[in-house]
Structure 1
Amino acid sequence: MQIALTKKLADALEVKLPTIDGTINPLFTWTANWTKVWDNRRAEDMLVLVNNATRFTVAIYQVKRKDLKNVEKMMRVAIVNTLLSMNLNPELVNEYMRLAGELEFVRNNSRQAAAWVTKAGLECAFHVGREYNGIAKMYCDTVGASSNYGIVNYSGNTNDGFYPYKAMFDALTALTGMQAYKCRAFELMVSLDLEVYKAERKLIVPADLEFAQFHKVLQYVFNWNNYHLYDFAIIDEKTKNTAARLVPTEEDLEYDESAVLMEGHTLAEFFPEHKQMLYTYDMGDNWEHIIQLVRVIEEYDGELPYLLEARGKTPPEDVGGVGGFVSFRDIMLNPEHPEYAEMKEWSRYWTPELWEWESRPKAIHV
Structure 2
Amino acid sequence: MSIKPGNRNEVFDKGVKNMQIALTKKLADALEEKIPAIDGSINPLFTWTANWTKVWDNRRTEDMLVLVNNATRFTVAIYQVKRKELKNVEKMMKAAIVNTLLSMNLNPELVNEYMRLAGELEFVRNNNRQTAAWVTRAGLECAFHVGREYNGIQKMYCDTVGASSNYRIVNYSGNTNDSFYPYKAMVDALTELTGMQAYKCRAFELRVSLDLEVYKAERKVIVPADLEFARFHKVLQYVFHWKNYHLYDFAIIDEKTKKTVVRLVPTEEGLEYDQSAVLMEGHTLAEFLPEHKQMLYTYDMGDNWEHIIQLIRVIEEYDGELPYLLEASGQTPPEDVGGVGGFVNFREIMLNPEHPEYAEMKAWSRYWTPELREWERNPKVIHL
User: Is the structural similarity TM-score above 0.5?
Assistant: yes
The whole-number CA distance in structure 2 between the counterparts of 1:348 and 1:313 is: 14
**Structure-1 residue corresponding to 2:14:** none
Aligned to 2:237: 219
Work out the number of aligned pairs and report it: 366
- Over the residues paired in the alignment, what is the CA RMSD in angstroms? 0.5
The superposition leaves residues 297-350 of structure 1 with CA deviations (integer Å, 9 ceiling, x where unpaired) of 000000000000000000001111111111110110011111111111111110
141, 148, 151: which one pairs with 2:166?
A: 148
The ranges of structure 1 where at least 4 consecutive aligned residues each deviate by more than 4 angstroms after the TM superposition are: none
* Partner residue, 1:319: 337
Whole-Å separation in 2 of the counterparts to 1:242 and 1:235: 5
1:109 aligns with 2:127: yes
Q: Which amino acid aligns with 2:98?
A: V
Aligned to 1:175: 193
Aligned twin of 1:360:
378
The Cα of 1:181 is off from its aligned counterpart by: 0.3
Q: Does 1:43 align with 2:61?
A: yes
Q: Take 2:33 and 2:315, find their aligned partners in 1: how far apart are those partners? A: 49
**1:65 corresponds to 2:83:** yes
| Secondary structure of the corresponding residue to residue 8 of structure 1 | helix
Distance in 2 separating the partners of 1:158 and 1:350: 32
Provide Cα deviations, 1:176-232, integer angstroms capped at 9, x if missing partner.
Answer: 000000000000000000011110000000000000000000000000000011000
Which of 237, 248, 265 aligns to 1:230? It is 248
Residue in 1 aligned with 2:13?
Answer: none
- 1:101 deviation in Å? 1.1
* SS in structure 1 of the partner of residue 356 of structure 2: coil
TM-score by length of 1: 0.99
Is it true that 1:286 corresponds to 2:304 in the alignment? yes
Deviation at 1:288, TM superposition (A): 0.3
Write the letter of the residue equivalent to 1:129.
G
1:239 to 251, 257, 261: 257
User: Could you tell me which residue of structure 2 aligns to residue 308 of structure 1?
Assistant: 326
Normalising by structure 2, report the TM-score.
0.95
Matched, 1:202 2:202: no
Q: Give 1:149 shift.
A: 0.4
The match for 1:340 among 358, 364, 369 is 358
The residue number in structure 1 matching 2:41 is: 23
Q: Secondary structure at the match of 2:120?
A: coil
Equivalent position amino acid for 1:194 in 2: L
For 1:347 and 1:44, locate their aligned partners in 2 and report how far apart those are by CA, in whole Å: 40
Paired-residue identity, %: 90
Q: Which runs of 5+ in 1 are unaligned?
A: none
SS in 2 for 1:103: strand
Q: What secondary structure does 1:245 align onto?
A: strand
C-alpha deviations, 1:35-81, integer Å up to 9, x for none?
00000001000000000000000000000000010101110010000
2: distance between equivalents of 1:209 and 1:115? 34
Counterparts of 1:212 and 1:154 in 2: how far apart (Å)?
Answer: 33
Taking the aligned partners of 1:155 and 1:37, their CA distance within structure 2 comes to: 27
> How far apart are the structure 1 equivalents of 2:64 and 2:21?
16
Shift of 1:17: 1.2
What SS does structure 1 have at the residue aligned with 2:251? strand
> Quick one: distance in 2 between partners of 1:288 and 1:159?
45
Partner of 1:137: 155
